[in-house]
Structure 1
């Protein structure tokens, strides 16, 4: 019996052990993955669980029912790569959101995920029509604008954009947007703003990046007074700000606008058109952060057309220090109608905040590419100082693009002009239209309080006469009265008032007229303007405008609000009478005696003087028994003997005709040809009048050198003495100018400059990768691998665990079978 009991107990134990082994094997049969530890020995794996935040983008009948389009957004506002997992989807653990702007678009029910890199414009436009009242505050409307949450409080007129490190892509096709700039507008959410007249304030809360355009964003919000938070906008990739604030006529404050970045903007036209008109205070606009033109493509052009047009309450503008306008082609009407504008400056300007010295300083503008600047400053009626010294108006001249650029500036007192400034083309119909009354004078070497005044011009004369190469200067409108032009003319046409402007001007020895300008304040009388003593002319009459004056000595004028002219009219003067003497040679020493007439009196006559600018010829009379040999005018020997040519002189003039006696008893002699004596320099130039010797064939002649001032004799001719013959002879004395050096040989080549040889840079040999480094690396890698393998051996591997489990299951099963068999045999034996 005990044996039987023991056998039963032993069988039960064996049976229990087999069941336990089988159960252990089954438990271990389920595979697991055990991650290997890192090199630091930390084997713990942290699993980040992110909540799926659902943002409602569309609404139905103001209920809380979620519709299609619900999106799961990343809980990390900084855009870190934290995990995001949708409930019920096991395989998307560790999937990061790729769209911090609008979240990764997901269908939570289906468990499908998508992570677009940009906002779907079509979808955004569709979703932007959703409007809902806030449950907690029914007076607040909520919705979406370009994919960003916005709210609007109609009662207060407050529109809020809630950015959260989001990005808006307003357009996909840049070229399309530019072509449709006037049609495509990024207006603030129209569905929320039913009546745009009610909007009074716009707030930007949280960071927001805008790519594309912000054109017409605030367009036509007539009662908008305040914009805040613009510093939260990143516009570094915006290329159009067309009409951004246009027609915001009540706008007074734009906080953060100095932080906007316009470095890639190519279209700023109409950006502030008709802004600030209804503001009670004058506006100071700080645009110092725009960085205009700094990141523009080389082939792009910029337009600033009518950028500030009609901003009648705009007082001052601060432009960025870093500004590049070299690619600006159009500034038409840029400041047109800015009637209170007195200052345009830069943050680094000394006078940016100096109310005592306001000025419009565009000296940093590069206008090499500017083609249109029509009406650019027209209507800036309070403008006092304008600096456009850097302006190059060449292209604008060619395109007729300067019309009325400086029109209607009644308070302008100072104008700074540069070398490339131009104010006319070929006629006055295309000029800049400068019509400011008064007299402009140049500062020159003087000061603004005491200018040089070498030029005194009216506005019209400044436009017509200005030459950038010679006239670039600072011009001050020094007098309120218009200048009076003083003219010196000589009477060619009949001396009638209607012909005064036709009379040619009198010119000085340098070919310049004597005309000048006097100026003074309106209503004041000028100092006496006196007649000039001009060589060759004599005063005839004086006219003030068309009125002939009684005096021919001096005149005074009263300055008015229009230009006036004073004409000093001259006739050409007649020179003093000319005395003509007839003389003959007494001897070879140059002594002369007068020839006697039939009354035995010296032959002489007086000839009327010559009119200034004219000349007359006096022909020598034939005298029996004498032959003309020399003509001398006022002590100067003339080259010929046929006539004396005399011009005007206001001194007495004397002409001497000198004769020689004809030889006596020369019946058997033959008249010889003349011997001409020449006096020349070594270059063949005549430096003294020729002398002609006459005689008979066979007679001897003698010539001699002359003392010629500034010259010394170089060569005495071989035929200085000789005999008359039947053939003409020439005797030439050659002189050298005193004090001259030998002319250098300009064809002699210059010694070439030796250029030092430059040491050739040695080619740097590339150092081959040292094997020791690779060996060390291999050693380190080997050690690391061994360490890893050892540590890995200490842990159960996935395959190994599976194997062990199956073995245990088999052993348990065999043990169970053995126990059952043993029990069966025991019972059988007992029985």
Structure 2
């Protein structure tokens, strides 16, 4: 116990001499804004000195607790202790890996690095300042500090400090910090400096409603709307030198803020403050510094005139002055506040850059509102001179013009747009690369090339008068507008009646049909002969005529004294292109021979033709002379028969 007490006394003496220098006090507010009240370093040091005895007592108490904890375990710790993470013997590199941070803490506590413990940090109070580090890991054990300053360091994350719930002051400046995720847990913060970091997204700050002073100088912030809800306690807001150009929504923030006195927006890109409703904030004690804006305006196009609407907009109802209006090509401008226009002289070049400065002060003599709005602008311009026309042609693949060309006129530097035309029977082959472009002082030609549209087929049919197909159809294909030519086919036994009117024509988008109608050709005659067994003609021959392919039917005739020997095989047949002979052969009738009449063929199978076959009745009957000759022979025959009968009768009588 004596050894323990001696150690405690030594520690007390050490603490009494070093505690004040172990805590570094950091100014709360940047000196850039004179309106912001700063905490006195001497005051802070005095405050630290007044609390020295208390800190010593805490160290003594802590020392006693350490000795007691060697025998018993404290399970009711409310802050982070060595027992929460690891033992005292654990290497400092395992819980505070940054060597520079180790050295800074060692110097602050005047404790060798190798002897530093987590408990040593747990008893730190006041404000801790470090710089030149890359990792904050280990600072989370300094649970009792109420302020932390980290400057000129390479840290990119704040996660180790998110459990430092006693922090009311935090300064993270001149670092590589690019994310504030998790900072919303530090709800007791009253002063937050995040200057010269790499921040663009500040949405996490919307939860820090107890903030009184917030400084975000020299970042890449463009959207400040997450701050518009900090209306309860915020007094000073610094946003100098960011990328802010839009103040949309700021009116409600200004109107609802209860303590706001100063907003610094200097060095941004704001060209329009007309959105600010001055009447809504006249009762506020507020200075709004929107000075030294550096604005690059959108390119301006001059037509024939040299007038330009003032591109800078101040608060409605207040004046703005424009000065130093010059251009890179010796252009000189003058501003007329009455019509709010700039007149530029010497716009001799087709393009260039204009520059100028502006200033507008808005203040109230009866109220405490002061708004400073000034800056400089740069603006590229182009002068629209008449361009050389653009000719738009519409041709086929052979270069032949299909439609009247169009002429496009415009100003140099402005875009042109050509369009294809709808041409009957033609389709655009492809859109030319320069269908859209820019007018210049050089003649340009846009050429639309067309190709013919695939036409509907032309079907060529070959049929008879009754519509029966005589030969396979032919299908012709081609392009709309091109000619087609059909030809008749040579079909055996058939002859073309006439060439159809549309035997030649033009391909169209509609289906077309060409019909060749044929009729049968005249056949060679069929001769029908009537002769005896020796080839002697008994009666004149008959001639049958018809169309090739149609049937013929011949007939035997009755010849007195003769009988048909046999029916010829070709008694019926088909007309052909070759002559045919049908021969009816007769034999002589004997006196005691029964006459067999010729067999008549069924006449229902007679020829069906457009031209009648020769009359058969004429060929089957004897002529007038022949009829008289036949009668004489008939009488002689009868007399002979009668004489024969008489002779026979007498012979019979004589024999009796």
Q: Normalised by the size of structure 1, how large is the TM-score?
A: 0.26
Write 1 or 2 for the structure with the bigger share of helix: 2
The higher-RCO structure (CA 8 Å, 6+ apart) is 1
Write 1 or 2 for the structure with the bigger share of strand: 2
Larger Rg: 2
